[in-house]
Chains A and B, each alone.
Chain A
Amino acid sequence: MNDVTTAPGADLPEHPDFLWRNPEPKKNYDVVIIGGGGHGLATAHYLAKNHGITNVAVLEKGWLAGGNMARNTTLIRSNYLWDESAAIYEHALKLWEGLEDDLGYPILFSQRGVLNLAHTEQDIRDSVRRVEANKLNGIDAEWLGPDEVKRICPIINTSGDIRYPVRGATYQPRAGIAKHDYVAWGFARRVDEAGVDLIQDCEVTGFTVDGDRVTGVRTSRGDIGCGTVALCAAGHTSVLLDELGVRTPLQSHPLQALVSELLEPVHPTIVMSNAVHVYVSQAHKGELVMGAGVDSYNGYGQRGAFHIIERQMAAAVELFPVFARAHLLRSWAGIVDVTPDASPIVGHTPYENVFVNAGWGTGGFKATPGLGWCFAHTIAHGQPHPYVAPFSLDRFTTGALVDEHGAAAVAH
């Protein structure tokens, strides 16, 4: 036998005995949220909690939180370059830090820090720039040399004998991971308790329009009248807005991820490397969770091309030689909806009572509570919350872009 005395994987907390009702849709709601993913659920939560708005339906065409919320690699950080991004992600991170209590749900938020590796002179410049910006924005950030990188994550190959040696890293100690299903279900349970109707298998097929107002949504489960519509449908937002004659600058790409078998703890933090395209953490049960680069072609099919995985594995073994005989157990893909400047679109649409939230690319999960908070505010007040105001749809005509290509986890 073996000498493992604690049972790994046994320490995951149980889910509660009750999560949500499965109600029939009502004829009318004050607010109809389209998209029952993390963002839709978080928005409903803060509508109820912060604004007392509970005559709300969350419409989900599949199973609740089954899109990107179920497929992401659960990384949470706020070390973004630009002020606008740093503000919303840091707001989110602060909410993450209190979310377990707020939801009364064990979301397993583990603040184990993130290392963003630098491999070239330009990586170093960009890293220093971001660290200095983070500090001035009040976000925890440090620049570490290779020795300090090795101290924090001993399994990284920091020797000079790899193709792109590790020259240092930025480090955000407050970054972390959480259990994505637990987060989604925590929100969903709270929202259900507040009286919000979570309606699954309910695909929106069109809208009824009166001038510059939308009066109802047509769904696979019948027509539903609405006071306000909030779009939280990620890449399908552009399809929905097409129904309203609004073009949205979104491109949807597969983004693949994968897990290994359960392994004894070897990796205490989160490591990202743009240059060699890898990010990896070791989840609570012991599996290595890794993200790959974005597949370059467009599409809604939730699967990607295999050479992306091969490249990812090469990068992983290059940086972490001990991973050589870890095994790929499962790979899958989500769909990232990417805007021209790799920042989200949140706020007004040409329709007075329709608000949009989309285009989070690879940042959607980590933004979940922050976006929910700010989008709920936007819906409740009819005006964008200051943290999301920079992410208006009209910035693509004014040119006030927030270009985050360089700060995303993977190259878009």
Chain B
Amino acid sequence: MSRVHGYGRVETGRTLTFTFDGRTYTGHPGDTLASALLANGVHLVGSSVKLGRPHGISAAWTEDATALVQIERPFPEPMLQATTVELVDGLVARGLRGQGRLASLADPARYDRQHTHTDTLVIGAGPAGLLAALAAARAGEDVVLVDDRSCAGGALTGTEVVDGRPALEFVADVVEELARLGVRHLQRTTAFGQYDDGFVLALQRRTDHLGAAAPAHRGRQRVHRIRALKVVVATGAQERPIVFADNDRPGIMLAASARDYLHRYGVLAGREVVVFTSDDAAYAAALDLAGAGSEVTLLDVRDAPPREWAARAADAGVAVHASAVVTGTEGEQRVRAVLARTVDGGIRLPADLLLVSGGWNPVVHLFSHARGALAYDPELGSFRPTSSLPGVTAIGAANGTLDLAGVLRDGAGPDAPVAGPEPARTPTGIVWRTEGDPDRQFVDIQRDATVTDIGRAVGAGLRSVEHVKRYTTIGTAHDQGKTSGVLASGITAELLGARIEDLGTTTYRPPYTPVAFAALAGRSRGELFDPVRTTPLHEWHVAAGAVFEDVGQWKRPRYYPRPGEDMDTAVLRECAATRSGVGILDGSTLGKIDVQGPDAGVLLDRLYTNMMSTLKVGRVRYGVLCGNDGMVLDDGTVLRIDEHRYLLTTTTGGAATVLDWMEEWLQTEWPELRVHLTSVTEQWSVFPVVGPRSREVVGEVFADLDVGNDAFPFMAWRDTTLDGVPVRVARISFSGELAYEVNVCSWYAPALWTRLLAAGQRHGITPYGTETMHVLRAEKGYPIIGQDTDGTVSPQDLGMSWVVSKKKDDFVGKRSFSRPENHNPLRKQFVSLLPVDGRTRLPEGSQIVELCDDGLPEPPVPMLGHVTSSYHSAELARPFALALVKNGRARIGELVDVPVDGALVRALIGDTVLVDPEGARRDG
């Protein structure tokens, strides 16, 4: 065991049992999987993707590049860093080589998201972030503080002194005051992406660390969508390794990480330790490990080691070699010896742990996500924020401040708490790699990508770090180049003889650390993936046995089968009943837009192809909307309610599109128009009562309403009441039959529906669904926009030139009608198709070709058009179809072929109106 008495903050009083690679070990609450493995002396975790080289644990947190594991229990999760998995009882994991494995069963966990708005968001609860949050909170700001680790404190180990007391006491005091001030402080919450205008995404891990004790009601993870006026990036810095030969062996670790394992987890990662550094910070690691009982030798790249630190090292019995570099290592499953060159020549140092430090890389990811500019800082040997980004500041180590006193000042300003005395920092030696075999110098350890690979890339002619990244795959692995990115730029610059400042880095992209798909999906799954919209009559439809179809977000009854009926027989029955008696449809899903204002008529005239402003109050007009290209966008009816008010309807699926379309014109092109648009789709329920007996039914229910043709003609609407409830009835027909569309406030919809059914009972009133509605309208040649059209069909193509005003100066789409192609006689036109055999129902979507007496020729076969709608007609006692056919209207009476399942079905082109061409039925 490598656990050291007197160190660490894990709960040694409780023991957790876990399994790794089939062997059972123990750890304690507060451990990560990595710290528990190290405590058990396990350094070997997995192997490299390409070469199969053994890999260990190379850091203590998210910068780790090697310790990738697959979780098997409590639930399979692919590829996590052992350094970030909090240990729970019963955890089962295994080391990975390259690929994770997805669970084969559904994830039972819940995920959710929360929107947060705040004045100041501080990312990172290290000393800088804590003090920044405190300053903002004391100034009365609303503050959110997020931090990715399990507790606040950042890189503080507990050995530091702040304001004369141990640093962790200082942390606890600040945390307590933040709580008192109402700061929303979230630990285990990783800010993983920053977008424009202070928008930050943060993932909170809420249950995994609790194991079996997690409350059942709590979601596993939560995405916080935080909008902040000010974002303070206090994300710290990550230690940068130095590349040397065989630098990928288990037992080679960042220096500060070993210190973290000691102070946070009480784990001494090695007994025989070599520290290889070009930076002062590693001296602290060396001294701490020596103090905990390790034999430590320190190799400093620099010619002049920092004097104070060197003196302390001498006191602690740590041998310091100046001007020394590591040139290689030995050991397969774990490092066994370190090969180095010192001023005295080559030496071999036996070691079971090699700590490395090449300085520090500010964690600039979140700053860079929002396009904050970075520049190379030659003292740091890394990139840090330069210009400030509006509303975003980087402080502390994230901004390149590495001494504690400076970090405290960054967070709190001149009145900052005072850091205990520390040796003054001396300049970092900027070294990307040492001498040695470049084939074995791994730059991106996870991708097995070496200095040789970079050399090949440069030799191949590549000059951009983006090209080098793609050639070598450096930075593309699970860690997205956290430790390798700057090294790759530096080594590339060296090999090119260029300046690293000119090369820059590859782009930082969200997320900062990987985020589970399900966490991002949140609750938007299953029923909640897209809202299910139902009408007030939904329960009635369900009780009536309706079969539903998805139309946009709506669930609409498609047909109401009686026992033993399939769709075809049910629809034939519904159609026949409606045409011969009376049917009723729940048309409530129809889009409805209330258009109000003195310029309402002007707006509608500009958007519809026909004139709406001349419509008289009390009357209804059918209208078509076209896009800029003159192609039909949607259609519907327009009711003029009063001088300054219209109620228009849209197709069910097109409602949102039409409202958006109208608003876009109103807001961006014609803001001067005094018009307001309001969706009233849900507010009004609509029941078309359809068929020759509809007058009797409607007349009976609304005794006050004169339903005769003279008083209430076709395309008129009338208001009435029923038991004091206002009802609007319109003479609109989508079937060619006498029909009354009954509109009522949706609150009363079920009651009114029941009344209509009751009154219709003796007439055999038949509820029908969308399929019957489609058949009835198709028999009359009325197109469904979006089914019979596809965005390439003009009103003229539909045979509806009559709906295009010739009087209006302009309207959306008008100019397009004059383009030559719109007058091409070979445009596809809307026609009917009757299968000659009288039996075959042509599949919708079928293509239409010229007659092929000798069977279908070899491709390519010219196509004339396609079948848009196809049904069996009760009225015609045969199948029929609607189609778009090139030059179709001129070809009425001609035969064409339709390939269906390898055969050809012959069909006759006809006019679109197949039932009641005289229009005799609409007035009953």
Contacts and interface: CB of A to CB of B under 8 A. Distances in A.
Asked whether A and B interact, the reply is: yes
A83 B863 contact: yes
B435 interface: no
B350 interface: no
A403 B792 contact: yes
B466 A261 contact: no
A121 interface: yes
Contacts of B464: 62-63, 66, 200
B345 interface: no
Contacts, number: 284
Interface in B454-468: 456-457, 459-464, 466-467
A322 B104 contact: yes
A94 interface: no
Contact of A324 (B463, B510, B518, B532): B518
B849 interface: yes
Interface stretch (A11-19, A105-113, A203-211, A359-367): A11-19
B47 interface: yes
Interface string B431-471: 00000000000000001000000001101111110110011
B821 A262 contact: no
B101 interface: yes
Contact of A132 (B507, B520, B846): B846
A7 B466 contact: no
B791 A403 contact: yes
B461 A401 contact: no
Interface in B245-302: none
Given A70-B466, A127-B845, A286 B525 contact: no
A357 to B, nearest CB: 22
Contact of A138 (B50, B530, B822, B859): B859
A310 B521 contact: yes
Interface string B92-111: 00111111111110110100
Contacts of B501: none
Contact of B102 (A125, A132, A181, A325): A325
A136 B859 contact: yes
A17 B822 contact: no
Contacts of A9: 49-50, 98-99, 447
A340 B223 CA distance: 37
B518 A329 contact: no
B860 interface: yes
Contact of B461 (A20, A323, A340): A20
20 contacts: A1-B46, A1-B47, A7-B51, A22-B463, A63-B466, A66-B467, A122-B787, A125-B844, A131-B845, A138-B859, A181-B470, A260-B517, A261-B78, A263-B78, A303-B371, A311-B524, A323-B102, A324-B106, A327-B516, A341-B629
Interface stretch (A96-104, A160-168, A375-383): A160-168
B502 to A, nearest CB: 11
B100 A264 contact: yes
Interface residues of A, number: 91
B914 to A, nearest CB: 20
Interface string A3-34: 01001111010011111111000000000000
Interface stretch (A43-51, A221-229, A312-320): A312-320
A364 B50 CA distance: 32
Interface in A333-382: 340-341
Interface in B689-721: none
Interface string B65-104: 0000010000111110000000000000011111111111
B517 A135 contact: no
A263 B101 contact: yes
Given A2-B46, A128-B843, A136-B849, A329 B514 contact: yes
A321 B821 contact: no
Interface stretch (B174-182, B193-201, B234-242, B616-624): B193-201
A303 B49 CA distance: 30
A142 interface: no
B511 interface: yes
Contacts of A181: 470
B820 to A, nearest CB: 5
A19 B844 contact: no
Contacts of B470: 70, 181
A340 B628 contact: yes
A161 B532 CA distance: 13
B518 A325 contact: yes
Interface stretch (A72-80, A145-153, A231-239, A392-400): A392-400
Contact of B467 (A63, A161, A309, A313): A63
Nearest to A328: B515
B549 interface: yes
Contact of A128 (B106, B530, B844): B844
Contact of B524 (A7, A126, A138, A310): A310
B735 to A, nearest CB: 20
Contact of A19 (B51, B462, B521, B549): B462
B821 A261 contact: no
A405 interface: yes
B821 A2 contact: no
Given A163-B529, A310-B524, A398-B819, A329 B466 contact: no
A129 interface: yes
Contact of B471 (A15, A164, A401): A15
B529 A314 contact: yes
B463 A164 contact: no
B804 to A, nearest CB: 15
Given A66-B466, A261-B514, A322 B101 contact: no
